């Protein structure tokens, strides 16, 4: 067996037996140990006990028989009747079929515990006085240090969890890097519930996943640039991607091998439009230019339906929060056009949108591009007709084919896309309101 402790210099043995082969002529036999008295052994030849001093004498480790024992295998045996001790040096030992090797420096007075392996022993495991454990190194600097090897943790065929635990508000960290004080990267779970990734100096945070599930890059703000000037990138837990940059382009989209879509715009899983590139030409497909506006009262009028013709007013839109009015240089208010051939047409109504930041109902107004436009019941339009305001929120044929200041749109199809309760209907068009 292997020994734990300092290398032993003596070992006690209990009584045992030596066996010898008789030759019919040999009378002297060498014992395996020294005994103090001839009475400390019992000699048997061919299962017959011999009389001490008469049948044999003893000198040191030499047993001399008076008559040579007859030939036989193990027919002479010597039983030791008392214990004795002798100096031994333990050699390498085996436990089962695995070689244990040499274990040294285990006594309490030594500085560390070292386990060595091999025929020319090399250090395999070291436990120092700081309770640091080193595998492949004799001077571990951490609680567990593995040098020149991999750490594999797992359990094939079942679930397995590796835990890095912390106490109280302390942080738990995983560090990847060279054998220096500065990691290449470090990720840390803090008491605040955030998983943080820091750079090589561990002084600047580069990414975090907070307790709300927000994923933030180069920022701790889950909505960088929204309602403020902070910079960074965040995928908000509400499925909002916020990108903010201080003094350069925030988003770069590149298609490197051929022409085609740069952005696919979808609603309820269906593609409704796109931004595409062909050579040096960028196209905005399936859409129109629009702007925000408000009614004169600032309220919401749900009687206004999609495609209704609107006209410009001199009043400017107002967005105010906690007594602070947002800057607005160009967005004016509108109303439903009530003048036939109105030269002040602004576009057509698309939908209402609640501005949650300011608590205001805004109108989304289409101005230029693909859209539908509302035609009064009984009015007939044809593909190619130029349209103007009919003075009741609908459009009607202009009467000529010259684009004028009163021109709202050009009909692109006779297809009726929808019909309202008052009999008015909408057809596809290209808007020319601005």
Question: What is the span of the domain harbouring residue 122?
Answer: 93-146
Residue 162 covered by a domain = no
pLDDT confidence of residue 203: 65
Whether residue 235 sits in one domain with residue 191 = no
Give the end of a domain, one of 87, 107, 132.
87
What is the pLDDT at residue 81? 85
Residues 6+ apart with CB under 8 A from 222: 210, 212, 214, 216, 234, 236, 237, 242
Residues 434 and 418 in one domain: yes
Summarised one tens digit per residue, pLDDT across range 296-324 is: 998 999 999 999 999 999 999 999 999 99
Q: Is residue 46 part of a domain?
A: yes
pLDDT at residue number 384: 96
To which residue do tokens 């439903």 refer?
336
- State the CATH number of the domain containing residue 402: 2.40.300.10
Furthest C-alpha separation in the chain: 153
Residue 430 placed within a domain: yes
Residue 373 near residue 384 (C-beta atoms within 8 A)? no
Q: 367 in a domain, yes or no? A: yes
Q: What is the pLDDT of residue 179?
A: 65
174: which 2 tokens? 């995983």
Average pLDDT over residues 190-214: 78
Confidence of residue 107 (pLDDT cuts 50, 70, 90): very low
The verdict on residue 132 lying in a domain is yes
Quick: pLDDT tens for 15-40: 688 999 999 999 999 998 888 889 98
Would the pLDDT of 88 be above 60? no
Whole-prediction pTM: 0.57
Taking only the tens place, the pLDDT of each residue in 7-21 is 555 555 556 889 999
Looking at the domain assignment, is residue 281 inside a domain?
Answer: no
Residues 389 and 345 in one domain: yes
pLDDT tens for each residue of 204-218: 778 888 888 999 998
> How far is it, in rounded angstroms, from Cα 430 to Cα 386?
10
Same structural domain, 340 and 426? yes
Residue of 186, 202, 192 whose CA lies nearest to 169: 192
Residues 372-390 have pLDDT tens digits of 999 999 999 999 999 999 9
Q: Tens digits of per-residue pLDDT, 341-376?
A: 999 999 999 999 999 889 999 999 999 999 999 999
Q: Are residues 188 and 225 in the same domain?
A: no
> Is 334 a member of any domain?
yes
pLDDT of residue 99: 47
Whether 280 maps to a domain, the answer reads: no
188 confidence band (pLDDT: 50, 70, 90): confident
- How far apart (Å, rounded) are the C-alpha atoms in residues 225 and 232? 8
118-158 residue pLDDT tens: 767 777 888 888 888 988 888 888 888 887 777 777 777 77
């Amino acid at each position: 067996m292997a020994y734990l402790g300092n290398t032993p210099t003596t070992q006690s043995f209990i009584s045992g037996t030596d066996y010898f082969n008789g030759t019919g002529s040999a009378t002297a036999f060498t014992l395996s140990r020294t005994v103090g008295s001839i009475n400390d052994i019992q000699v048997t030849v061919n299962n017959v006990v011999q009389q001490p001093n008469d049948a044999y004498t003893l000198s040191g480790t030499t047993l001399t028989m008076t008559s040579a024992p007859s030939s036989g295998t193990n027919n002479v045996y010597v039983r030791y009747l008392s214990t004795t001790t002798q100096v031994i040096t333990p050699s390498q030992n085996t436990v089962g079929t695995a070689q244990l090797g040499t274990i040294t420096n285990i006594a309490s007075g030594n500085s560390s515990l070292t386990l060595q392996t091999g025929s020319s022993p090399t250090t395999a495991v070291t436990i120092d006085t700081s309770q640091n454990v080193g595998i492949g190194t004799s001077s571990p600097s951490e609680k567990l240090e593995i040098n020149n090897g991999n750490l594999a943790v797992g359990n094939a065929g079942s679930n397995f969890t590796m835990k890095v635990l912390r106490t109280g508000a302390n942080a738990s960290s995983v560090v990847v890097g060279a054998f220096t004080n500065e990691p290449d990267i470090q990720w840390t779970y803090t008491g605040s519930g955030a998983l943080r990734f820091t750079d090589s100096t561990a002084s600047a945070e580069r990414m975090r996943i907070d307790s709300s599930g927000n994923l933030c890059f180069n920022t701790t703000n889950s909505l960088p640039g929204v309602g403020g000037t902070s910079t960074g990138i965040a995928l908000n837990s509400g499925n909002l991607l916020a990108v903010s940059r201080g003094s350069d382009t925030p988003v770069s989209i590149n298609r490197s091998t051929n022409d085609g879509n740069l952005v696919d715009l979808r609603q309820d899983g269906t593609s409704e439009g796109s931004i595409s590139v062909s050579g040096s030409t960028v196209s905005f497909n399936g859409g129109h230019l629009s702007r925000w506006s408000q009614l004169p009262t600032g309220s919401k009028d749900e009687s206004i339906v999609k495609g209704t013709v609107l006209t410009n007013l001199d009043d400017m839109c107002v967005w105010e929060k906690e007594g602070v009015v947002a800057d607005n240089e160009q967005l004016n208010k509108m109303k439903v056009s009530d003048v036939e051939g109105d030269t002040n047409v602004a576009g057509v109504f698309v939908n209402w949108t609640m501005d949650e930041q300011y608590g205001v109902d805004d109108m989304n107004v289409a101005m230029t591009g693909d859209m539908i436009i509302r035609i009064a019941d009984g009015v007939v339009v044809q593909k190619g007709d130029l349209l103007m305001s009919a003075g009741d929120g609908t459009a009607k044929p202009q009467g000529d084919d010259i684009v004028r200041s009163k021109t709202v749109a050009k009909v692109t199809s006779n297809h009726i896309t929808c019909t309202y309760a008052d009999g008015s209907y909408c057809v596809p068009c290209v808007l020319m309101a601005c």
